[in-house]
Structure 1
Amino acid sequence: MRILSLCVLMAALAWAFLPGDTVTTWPLVAHLTAFPVLSGVGLGLIGLVGVFLRRFRALLAAGAVLVIAGAGNYLPVQQPSASDEDDSGLIVLEWNTGDAVTPEALGALIRDVAPDIAVLPEYTGAVPAGYRSFVSGGMPVTVLTAEELGDYRAVGVPGSSEVTFGTVHVSTGHPGERTPDVIGLHTAPPLPGLMGRWRDDLGTVAGLAETHPDALIIGDLNAVPRHGVLARTDTHADAVAAAPLFGSGTWPAALPGWARSPIDHILIPHGWSVVDGGVRVLDTGGSDHAPVVAHIRRD
């Protein structure tokens, strides 16, 4: 049992301090990685039991490593840079509506948040006033851009750059501080029968980040930044990682924020920053995902 305990400890250390390893995309490990606080607390309790029984003491150390990983805001990779609060930049909203949010509910949130850009996986309702709408194929993914931002247009997405549940790319043709290209996404989830497609989708997201280093990449990735190739993406950082400690989880919305998985993302390019205090995960109902809002700006 000591050998088993040592293996668990080594695996926990590798998980905590070597993000992006292929093992993070294996069944079960992928799901534990998605919920580091819950998995850390669970393993920590197992370790305590082992101590009380005077056995498997290494399990306590393994549990402590994962608890620390959870408490450390999921040990975020590619932590976004921060900037002082100001009124410039863009307000970005991401919300997987689960095809259950009514146009009235979305309209109320839009009026409250006043986003410049919104990415809405699984939204098929009416377009709020003052916005242009671009919709992908698939489930679909809807991108809204405020009319005041200018003449955004849809850009064709090659099949090799599409993820399972929808990909949409919009651009003004003249990317700038107020008019960045936007790529909205919704990947397959890591469920039985879809694990291969999920891994392929993560590879596609990483490829889009590499080929579009100046674009905002936003959506439900059904993954956390520690999963596989996402951890090795060096062109973007996740703005949602700047949310308050234990406050970046978005799914499932029925759980308290600290217990949720942070699978909804606003990936910003290097050269962009998150305005101090400008990231919020909201408790708006209507979907099994919580919406996330980020105030970002180009440095």
Structure 2
Amino acid sequence: MRILSLCILTAALVWAFLPGNPTTTWPVIAHLTAFPVVIGAGLGVIGAVGVPLRRFRALPVAGAVLVIAGAGSFLPVQRPTVSDAGVGGEGELVVLEWNTGDSVTPENLAALVRDIHPDIAVLPEYSGEVPAGYRSFVSGGTPVTVLTAEGLGDYRTTEVPGSSRVTFGTIHVSSGHPGTGKPDVIGLHTAPPLPGLMGRWRGDLGAVAALAAANPGALIIGDLNAVLRHGDLAQIDTHTDAVAAAPIFGGGTWPTSLPGWARSPIDHILIPDGWSVVDGGVHIIGSGQSDHAPVVARVRRRQESLP
């Protein structure tokens, strides 16, 4: 019993403090890892209750270890740089990501766009009409649509190597001037970690990491069906997730049937080094049209990074 307890506690600490370790892509553990707030809170409660109830006699410090592991799971794998809200500047963009679940109507989308005025939107599973004032680029296969505001100028599609494409859609668009405030945009929708797709899912996470390494100046946006604790995503060092700047109990996006604090943060807006999130500029928007909530981030290229 003592050995079993030690193994369980070691696994809890590894899960909390070594994101990206191979166990995070194992069945069951992968699914638990997708809900870090719920699992972290659960570990903390078990540890806190177990100590006074003396349920861990085989290893007296077990309760405290579980509390520590639970707290560690709340720590973001990476934290984006946050800049002051009152400081304007060249290269500031409003970015929208929303997996529409193939259930959002053009009217629903147009209403949201009118409310938030995004410069760039990435919409997995959307292939409907384009809101006025935007250009549209759509991937092959299951659609991933990228919208760019006409004010950003001309964008064009760029070929994505086959080895870097993910299962449900990959699209790369470029203004031809990625070194300015008009970054390249890579829209993605990976396979989910479901039976029969686990291998594809792991491969997709590797493809996302490879795309990030090969395109260090691009915005990488989409439904990755994973959190940054999963596998190769934890190894990305060229980008940070703007959504990680949301409140810790309010950054989850899926499924919308759960309260915000209990959702999994699987929708991402990865911004390059040299970019920051405007303070208070990340919002998870309530919406009943899809099982994913829309994510909006106000980001900017930091002045010291401008040419």
* Aligned partners of 2:191 and 2:204 also within 8 Å: yes
Equivalent-residue separation in structure 1 for 2:37 and 2:62 (angstroms): 16
Q: Which amino acid aligns with 1:248?
A: G
- Aligned position for 2:196: 193
Deviations 1:46-95 (A, max 9, x none): 4435752544555523431343134xxx3112211111113440000000
Equivalent-residue separation in structure 2 for 1:179 and 1:295 (angstroms): 14
Equivalent-residue separation in structure 2 for 1:199 and 1:59 (angstroms): 32
* Aligned partners of 2:179 and 2:217 also within 8 Å: no
Q: Aligned to 2:268, what secondary structure does the other structure show?
A: strand
* Aligned partners of 1:94 and 1:218 also within 8 Å: yes
Equivalent-residue separation in structure 1 for 2:197 and 2:72 (angstroms): 27
Does residue 72 of structure 2 align to residue 52 of structure 1? Answer: no
Equivalent-residue separation in structure 1 for 2:135 and 2:144 (angstroms): 14
* Aligned partners of 1:8 and 1:62 also within 8 Å: no
TM-score w.r.t. the length of structure 1 is 0.94
Q: Which amino acid aligns with 1:15?
A: W
Write out aligned runs for 1:247-258 (5 A).
247-258=250-261
Equivalent-residue separation in structure 2 for 1:121 and 1:62 (angstroms): 40
Equivalent-residue separation in structure 2 for 1:58 and 1:139 (angstroms): 50
Residue range with higher mean Cα deviation, 52-61 or 125-134: 52-61
* Aligned partners of 1:119 and 1:219 also within 8 Å: yes
Q: Aligned to 1:30, what secondary structure does the other structure show?
A: helix
Q: Aligned to 2:297, what secondary structure does the other structure show?
A: strand
- Aligned position for 1:220: 223
TM-score w.r.t. the length of structure 2 is 0.92
CA gap of 1:206–1:131, structure 2 versus 1, over 3 A, is same
Q: Report the CA distance between 1:259 and its aligned residue.
A: 0.4
CA gap of 1:197–1:58, structure 2 versus 1, over 3 A, is farther
Residue range with higher mean Cα deviation, 19-28 or 216-225: 19-28
- Aligned position for 2:241: 238
Does residue 147 of structure 2 align to residue 144 of structure 1? Answer: yes
Q: Report the CA distance between 1:225 and its aligned residue.
A: 0.7
Q: Report the CA distance between 1:16 and its aligned residue.
A: 1.1
CA gap of 1:157–1:44, structure 2 versus 1, over 3 A, is same
- Aligned position for 2:32: 32
Write out aligned runs for 1:1-299 (5 A).
1-47=1-47, 48=49, 52=53, 54-55=55-56, 57=60, 59-70=62-73, 74-85=74-85, 86-88=87-89, 89-299=92-302
CA gap of 1:77–1:40, structure 2 versus 1, over 3 A, is closer
Q: Which amino acid aligns with 1:294?
A: A
Q: Report the CA distance between 1:44 and its aligned residue.
A: 4.1
* Aligned partners of 1:152 and 1:172 also within 8 Å: yes
Cα RMSD, aligned residues only: 1.5
Equivalent-residue separation in structure 1 for 2:276 and 2:41 (angstroms): 32
Q: Which amino acid aligns with 1:28?
A: V
Runs of 4+ aligned residues of structure 1 deviating over 2 Å after TM superposition are 40-63
Residue range with higher mean Cα deviation, 244-253 or 197-206: 244-253
Gaps of 5+ in 2: 303-307
Deviations 1:99-125 (A, max 9, x none): 001111111100001000000000121
Equivalent-residue separation in structure 1 for 2:297 and 2:180 (angstroms): 15
Q: Which amino acid aligns with 2:37?
A: V
* Aligned partners of 1:132 and 1:144 also within 8 Å: yes
* Aligned partners of 2:56 and 2:63 also within 8 Å: no
Q: Report the CA distance between 1:45 and its aligned residue.
A: 4.5
Q: Report the CA distance between 1:36 and its aligned residue.
A: 1.6
Q: Aligned to 1:60, what secondary structure does the other structure show?
A: helix
Gaps of 5+ in 1: none
Residue range with higher mean Cα deviation, 136-145 or 57-66: 57-66
Q: Which amino acid aligns with 1:160?
A: S
Taking only the aligned residue pairs, the percentage that are identical comes to 70
Equivalent-residue separation in structure 2 for 1:5 and 1:260 (angstroms): 29
Q: Aligned to 1:174, what secondary structure does the other structure show?
A: coil
Q: Report the CA distance between 1:3 and its aligned residue.
A: 1.4
